[in-house]
Amino acid sequence: MKKKIAVFSTGWGSNILVQCLQGAKKIFEANETDLYLFLTFAALHESQDITEGELNIFRLPDLHDFDGVIICANLIDFKYEIDKIVSRAQAAGIPVVSIGSVVKDTYSVISDNYSGMRCLAEHLINEHNIKKIYVIGGNKDNEGAEDRIRALKDVMKEHGLSLPDSNIFYTDWFITTAAHKTREWCRNDDLPEAIVCANDSLALTACVTLKDCGKEIPRDVAVTGFDNSPDARIFFPSLTTVDQNFMHCGEEAAKILLSHLAGKEIEPVTVVESELIVRESCGCPEDTGSVILRQQAAANAYSKQMNDTMQTRYDRKIERLILSCESISEIKKKFAQALIENHDYEGDNFHILMDESAYRSVSDVSVSMRRIGYDEELSVFFSICDGKILDNTKFPSAKLLPLPEDDKSHLYIFTPLHFNQYSAGYIVFVDSIKELEEKTLRSYYQGFNYSMEKFRQNMYLKYMNERITELAQIDSLTHIKNRAAYENKRKELQNNIDIVPGYEFGIVMFDANDLKGINDAYGHEAGDEYLKNCCALICRVFSHSPVYRIGGDEFLAVLEGNDYVNRDSLFNKFQQDMDAIYKKATAPEGKVSIACGMCIFDRTNHKSVDDIRNAADERMYENKKLMKSAAHSK
């Protein structure tokens, strides 16, 4: 039986994550093991609600179903989440390996950040005589980043130099913060001799900003990074950096888990050596490797641009498809049709699992959305396996995937669907490590999530508009439809008269007798109660007909369907029930007395709805006169 390893990470450091996964896969593939990557794009600068929705994917797996856990701890800035994962793994009795940071109660595989930064600092000082350094850091709680700063301070102190805290600027890994700070130094003519950055992304951001400000690297200032990303190699000038050998870290993590499962003794901390990579951005000569990579990048530039354009167009196509629909079922149908024709971007194995309560809650207040975890049963929005569309409709979320396991080793990547802090499901990409590295996976996931969120907002706005329209057409006293609602019905009836051959309907007009007398004698509250009692009788008898209050004491019913067929018996029942109520009631507001008149549509005599209503109105007034005469004769 295959082993299952759960991997937890954010996707922002995709270069590091991909190296870790490639290293782990290299070991696990030979040992019949599946990797389940639970991937979030939560970031420190996001709102708490969005962060909560993103991190919810970490709560999806039941770790009792897994053989081990790998945590890319250096990529997760939310330490409390790491602690929760470790606690769950301990409860499940499975081993945990953390990569990049030493984490309590885990086996830890760390890159030697300290020695890597020492080598970089020694190089800057000894080879380039640099004395003044500014640091663009990540966040203060990152263990590896703090090790680097400590190493930089130690080396500078050993050379009679200093790195005051005022020269260290934290960005929380946000590149716009790095750009802002670099631009500020240029504006104030306050550049150091070197800018040492916590990772390559921050360093490349600083380089681009310096160029925009008219500065030349390394003539005006040297810049260094950390991670040895692909972009660092092809950038001009190529970036001096430190390779933390994360592929080797991934290999070691996999070996540790397999050794633990085999009952072997393991050291709690494994240290992987890092390596200084000297390139042009510090002032060293151009290296042959960077030139070759740069030439390859130039040769592939149009291809990359073309692929990016096609990806953007495809993302927009999916967005337009989703936003053109008016229901989840319509989206599912159109989405399946589109992917049957072309699923190049999704691949032959791809799944979208959805919690449809997230959409039902828009119009049903009894349905609540989840904030923590996922519903026990999820809807299969779309599922394709080995190029074949699966037609499953529901499946238990504990299974994670709506399909049986095969005998191949896979990498399953789970990304969350959510509306702010509320869970809406998840997407599963299969064996998509290339898409993860090239960031197309992130683009697809975020685009789909955004489109579904906009769709839900549209659903909500549509529902609210319908509710507002409905409320605007409800009589506040009797809670039946009002005159505005009747005007809409009148247009519908007129349209049917004009275009529907053999159309049949009738109108009954009602007028509550002696409302003014009750108001004058007993007050308006009694008058209001009298009108409600009159309305209740009309609605009870003509229960399949829309009833409208079109004036102070006037009501109108449109007879269609069974009420039209049974109109004569209903009309007689109305008279009988009214007489019975009048005799039984003791309070004046209970003694309902209603004049009424009915007219049936006759195409020969009636050209408009108003003709029918006027005829019914005349018959109602004839009935009112008879009722008054009968009352006076008693």
Residue with tokens 């337009």: 320
Domains of the chain with CATH codes:
3-107+311-462 (3.40.50.2300), 111-245+272-301 (3.40.50.2300), 483-633 (3.30.70.270)
pLDDT surpasses 60 at 575: yes
pLDDT surpasses 90 at 371: no
Contact 446, 501 (CB under 8 A): no
What is the pLDDT at residue 164? 94
Distance CA(68)–CA(47), nearest Å, equals 32
Long-range contacts of 611-619 (CB under 8 A, 24+ apart): 612/506, 612/507, 613/507, 613/509, 613/556, 616/506, 616/507, 616/508, 616/509, 617/509, 619/509
What is the pLDDT at residue 327? 87
Residue with tokens 């005589």: 129
Percent of the chain topping pLDDT 70: 98
Question: pLDDT tens, 187-235?
Answer: 999 999 999 999 999 999 999 999 999 999 999 999 999 999 988 988 9
Query: What is the three-class DSSP state of 386?
Result: coil
> Looking at 513-612, which runs of residues are DSSP E strands?
547-549, 554-559, 594-600
What is the pLDDT at residue 344? 85
pLDDT surpasses 80 at 294: no
Which of these ranges, 154-168, 284-298, 398-412, has the smallest mean pLDDT?
Answer: 284-298
Locate 488 and state its tokens: 């809409």
Distance CA(505)–CA(608), nearest Å, equals 12
Distance CA(232)–CA(202), nearest Å, equals 11
Q: Note if the pTM is more than 0.75.
A: yes
Which of these ranges, 35-49, 111-125, 360-374, 592-606, has the smallest mean pLDDT?
Answer: 360-374
The more confident residue out of 127 and 308 is 127
Overall average pLDDT of the 570-587 stretch: 93
Q: Strands 394-396 and 377-385, how do they pair?
A: antiparallel
What is the pLDDT at residue 364? 75
Contact 40, 108 (CB under 8 A): no
What is the pLDDT at residue 633? 62
- Confidence band for 141, pLDDT divided at 50, 70 and 90: confident
What is the pLDDT at residue 204? 96
Task: Give me the phi and psi of 10, to 5 degrees please.
Answer: -90, 165
Distance CA(206)–CA(29), nearest Å, equals 39
Distance CA(8)–CA(458), nearest Å, equals 33
Overall average pLDDT of the 133-143 stretch: 87
Handedness of CA 493, 496, 502, 503 (dihedral sign): negative
pLDDT surpasses 90 at 288: no
Measured between its terminal Cα atoms, the distance across the chain in Å is: 95
What is the pLDDT at residue 26? 93
Average model confidence (pLDDT) across the chain: 92
What is the pLDDT at residue 634? 56
Overall average pLDDT of the 345-352 stretch: 91
Overall average pLDDT of the 418-435 stretch: 92
Amino acid at 354: M
Q: Strands 222-224 and 269-272, how do they pair?
A: unpaired
Distance CA(415)–CA(405), nearest Å, equals 20
- Confidence band for 424, pLDDT divided at 50, 70 and 90: very high
Overall average pLDDT of the 318-343 stretch: 90
Contact 194, 130 (CB under 8 A): yes
Residue 621 CA, chain-centre distance (Å), reads 60
Distance CA(339)–CA(388), nearest Å, equals 11
Locate 422 and state its tokens: 């509320």
pLDDT surpasses 70 at 491: yes
Which residues on adjacent β-strands are paired with residue 224? 196, 240
pLDDT surpasses 90 at 289: no
Percent of the chain topping pLDDT 90: 72
Which of these ranges, 102-106, 395-399, 462-466, has the smallest mean pLDDT?
Answer: 462-466
Task: Give me the phi and psi of 260, to 5 degrees please.
Answer: -60, -45
Taking the C-alpha atoms of 160, 163, 164 and 165 in order, what is their torsion angle to the nearest 10 degrees? -160
